[in-house]
Chains A and B, each alone.
Chain A
């Protein structure tokens, strides 16, 4: 079974631009969560999608948004990029979401904002 895939793996943008990252969950998984990882703040939860609906949201500004498609693939978008948005963005999938299930992480998309 293929794991969680994320595209692109690396991205360089400039301040003010916007970016879209993609995540394909493991086949059959309907829950997709997104995390931002930085050296200073560690792994921070962005949002979770289940059956095309945002089910939970972390403490990030509205510039960060996401969506999920009917095939469970998910995208996250960051508008008006700031230098501080440079980070590794990870997505994780699980069957239904929730604390009793294992979340499987993708390799991440490393975003550099110049």
Chain B
């Protein structure tokens, strides 16, 4: 089945640093989503991308839909302690296929 390869698996960064993570696929996706999951909670949508090449920001978060439709990245600028959590990419290939998730990037922020 379709798979999303998300990297890195985990990151330890200093507060104030910028963070970058990405997701790649061998097949085309028409929608890319980025979620964050805090302990004991379900994932919360951060950014949705619907067009190839699209660059979208949400506060300190910026995400891009790759021009090939096979990748996406998420940047977090000036990280703060509450950015700690697991970040997931997810993609829809088409309306008839289920949402596919990457395995997540666990972010730790050292104050």
Q: Which residues of A contact B (CB under 8 A)?
A: 4, 33, 35, 41-45, 48, 56, 58-59, 90, 92, 98-100, 102-108
Alpha-carbon distance between A100 and B31 when the two chains are bound, in angstroms: 8
Which residues of B sit under 8 angstroms from A108, Cβ to Cβ? 41-42
Which residues of B sit under 8 angstroms from A107, Cβ to Cβ? 40-42
Interface size band for B = 20 to 34
Q: Which residues of B contact A (CB under 8 A)?
A: 1, 30-31, 40-45, 48, 50, 88, 90, 92, 94-104
Q: Which residue of A lies closest to B30 (CB)?
A: A99
Nearest first, the 5 A-B pairs at minimum CB distance are: A105-B42, A99-B92, A45-B98, A43-B101, A42-B103
Which residues of B sit under 8 angstroms from A43, Cβ to Cβ? 43, 88, 90, 101
Alpha-carbon distance between A48 and B92 when the two chains are bound, in angstroms: 14
